[in-house]
Amino acid sequence: MKQLIQDLLRTAVARLAEQGALPAGTQVDIQVDRTRDKAHGDFAANTALMLAKPARRKPREIADELVAALPDSTAVERVEIAGPGFINFFLSADAAFQPVRDALEHGAEYGRGDTAAGQNLLVEFVSANPTGPLHVGHGRGAAFGGALCNLLAAAGHQVQREYYVNDAGRQMDILAASVWLRYLDKLGEAVRFPDNGYRGDYVRAIAEALVTSEGDSLRHPAATVGADLPDDAEQGGDKERHIDALVTRCRELLGEDAYRRVFDRALNTVLDDIRDDLAGFGVHYDSWFSERSLTESGAVDQGLERLEAAGQLYRQDGAIWFRSSDYGDEKDRVVRRDNGAITYFASDIAYHLNKLARGFDQIINIWGADHHGYVPRVKAALSACGADPERLDVRLVQFAILYRGSERMQMSTRSGQFVTLRELRDEVGTDAARFFYVMRKPEQHLDFDLELAKSQSADNPVYYIQYAHARICSVFRQLQEKGLHYDEEQGRQQLMRLDNDHEQSLVTAIGQYPELIANAARAREPHQVAHFLRDLANALHTYYNAHQFLVDDEALRNARLCLITAARQVLRNGLDVLGVSAPEAM
């Protein structure tokens, strides 16, 4: 509809230009907006105001001429000029009800953007190190990423959801060592557990499984394990040096084969748990991309070779550096350490080159806000390799701070003191959790109050929206109980009977949904959907309280049932984008 009005205006502007009322070659961006106030019609355009300057004429004069030059359209009932020169469009009744017919006709597809114009997108999100269960901090990334993917898909894009598995690197080694130490502990070896080890109960559980499958074949005396290690932090030493030495000791004693078994046992157990957890949270991936595969396939080396070929690598202090400062980064970055190990950054260069090579129009990364300093160097690497850094869009998500009432809850993966995503799901439920996570824009800190999220009260916006859906379903149950019939065809013919304010605003809200999806997807802001649904639910509840739907007048009844059916469809579609269920009864 907005499109139609823009076309009308464009024609009018062209006609005026032809008549010489506007300077030749006048260019104007035709902006048409929905009005906030019904007194201003359904849509408003500021075109005359924008033209006033280049035409050097009064805006209201131009508005008069524009209106006169507008082509006739059955969709527009009348046009008014208001204020400083706004042109207000009032839709004809028939056109105004079009959204209801569209929603009924397209069902789950209502609001879907043009697939032909859609892009091929890769969205990578969560990608937490598989060193432990997901905690509530990851939950926000999962909820946001999941909703964004659904939103982009709803807008007509093709979306691939990917999880980057950090299955190589030092943190995983520390996990493997932690598991092995717990394993020794279970066999009765009095080993000292490092300050920097992973302490969660899940580590003990993996160790337990290791005892079952490996028996005592991986056992070494505690004295051998702990011999001549640098002091740990608790002993007045450096915890990083201590743990690195411990990892090395672990590899030496076990040998590569056995070490790999421990490592993979830890990795697979944790990763299976993460997969299961995310699936339970309604987040599903198309691909799980292994970091290790990048090293093994030689992709990391190839990436470095590309930088080398571009003349952007240099050696200094025994390390290899990438001249990222040439591409806007604050300083140059190490890609290979003096001990020969490649850095995480080097893997990431290879990973992003790989993503682009897969042919996506754009790749989207969802990262925690603490990684923002990382963005310039990755883009720098892409630029240096001749790729367009604009093809990478990094969305930063602030952390969620968990509260129980007014008490702030602390968490840290290493210490094992954290609220897991699974605990959150068990406590507040997936629906409330997902909604709470996405109702704030991602760059806002999120205060997540557990008490509020699980309260089944009016304070809880999730139930408010779900209740609107359930209420509509309930009306149809009542309809059956009363032995009445819903004739949708008749209802569609009688939509003009829906003439009160509550019905008008509900129709308007339904009509806004497709635009909302397009806008929210363009801005990559799922929270817009959450806010829209709140408003839509409000329009429905207000209507529900003001009017009886199951009236004796059959034509009116069917028209009203058509309207609430359309509303229900939009509620469902929107909730679906957010990953929240639409219950039929509450």
* Region 438-477 residues binding RNA, contact defined as CB under 7 A: 439-441, 443-447, 456-461, 463-464, 467, 470-471, 473-475, 477
Nearer to RNA by C-beta: 208 or 326? 326
Q: How many residues bind RNA (CB under 7 A)?
A: 90
Out of 150, 178, 269, 528, the residue judged to bind RNA by CB under 7 A: 528
Min dist. Cβ of residue 108 to RNA (A): 21
Nearer to RNA by C-beta: 257 or 317? 317
Min dist. Cβ of residue 165 to RNA (A): 11
Helices (H), 37-169: 47-55, 59-69, 93-96, 98-106, 136-154
Judged by CB under 7 A, the stretch of 162-170, 229-237, 246-254, 303-311 that binds RNA is 162-170
Using DSSP, how many helices (H) and how many strands (E) does the chain show?
22, 15
DSSP letters along 162-183, please?
A: EEEE--SSHHHHHHHHHHHHHH
If one asks whether residue 325 binds RNA (CB under 7 A), the answer comes out as no
Nearer to RNA by C-beta: 495 or 540? 540
Count of Cβ atoms closer than 10 Å to residue 3 Cβ: 9
Integer Cα distance of 106 and 112 in angstroms: 9
Out of 547, 555, 556, 576, the residue judged to bind RNA by CB under 7 A: 547
Out of 541, 554, 572, 576, the residue judged to bind RNA by CB under 7 A: 541
Nearer to RNA by C-beta: 150 or 196? 196
Integer Cα distance of 339 and 342 in angstroms: 9
If one asks whether residue 2 binds RNA (CB under 7 A), the answer comes out as no
Out of 297, 316, 412, 417, the residue judged to bind RNA by CB under 7 A: 316
Integer Cα distance of 332 and 296 in angstroms: 26
Out of 9, 13, 49, 152, the residue judged to bind RNA by CB under 7 A: 49
Token pair listed for 45: 């355009």
Q: What phi and psi, each to the nearest 5 degrees, are found at residue 486?
A: -105, 115
Residue 383: CB partners within 8 Å, gap ≥ 6? 327, 389
Burial bucket for residue 122 (CB in 10 Å: 0-12, 13-18, 19+) = buried
In the region spanning residues 360 to 399, those forming contacts with RNA, defined by CB under 7 A, are 369-374, 396, 398
Min dist. Cβ of residue 273 to RNA (A): 18
If one asks whether residue 293 binds RNA (CB under 7 A), the answer comes out as no
Integer Cα distance of 379 and 385 in angstroms: 10
DSSP 417: B
Nearer to RNA by C-beta: 226 or 237? 237
Integer Cα distance of 9 and 35 in angstroms: 17
Q: Which of 193, 367, 183 is nearest to 269 (CA)?
A: 183
Nearer to RNA by C-beta: 306 or 527? 527
In the region spanning residues 171 to 200, those forming contacts with RNA, defined by CB under 7 A, are 171
Min dist. Cβ of residue 376 to RNA (A): 8
Out of 234, 330, 361, 501, the residue judged to bind RNA by CB under 7 A: 330
Min dist. Cβ of residue 190 to RNA (A): 29
Q: Which amino acid is at 334?
A: V
If one asks whether residue 84 binds RNA (CB under 7 A), the answer comes out as yes
Q: Which amino acid is at 395?
A: R
Judged by CB under 7 A, the stretch of 5-13, 96-104, 161-169, 196-204 that binds RNA is 161-169
Out of 6, 26, 35, 490, the residue judged to bind RNA by CB under 7 A: 35
240, 200 contact by CB (below 8 A): no
In the region spanning residues 337 to 356, those forming contacts with RNA, defined by CB under 7 A, are 337-339, 341, 343-345
In the region spanning residues 396 to 425, those forming contacts with RNA, defined by CB under 7 A, are 396, 398
DSSP collapsed to 3 states, 325-352 = HHHCCCCCEEEECCCCCECHHHHHHHHH
Out of 317, 359, 386, 552, the residue judged to bind RNA by CB under 7 A: 317
If one asks whether residue 113 binds RNA (CB under 7 A), the answer comes out as no
Burial bucket for residue 80 (CB in 10 Å: 0-12, 13-18, 19+) = middle
Integer Cα distance of 519 and 296 in angstroms: 42
In the region spanning residues 116 to 155, those forming contacts with RNA, defined by CB under 7 A, are 129
If one asks whether residue 555 binds RNA (CB under 7 A), the answer comes out as no
If one asks whether residue 501 binds RNA (CB under 7 A), the answer comes out as no
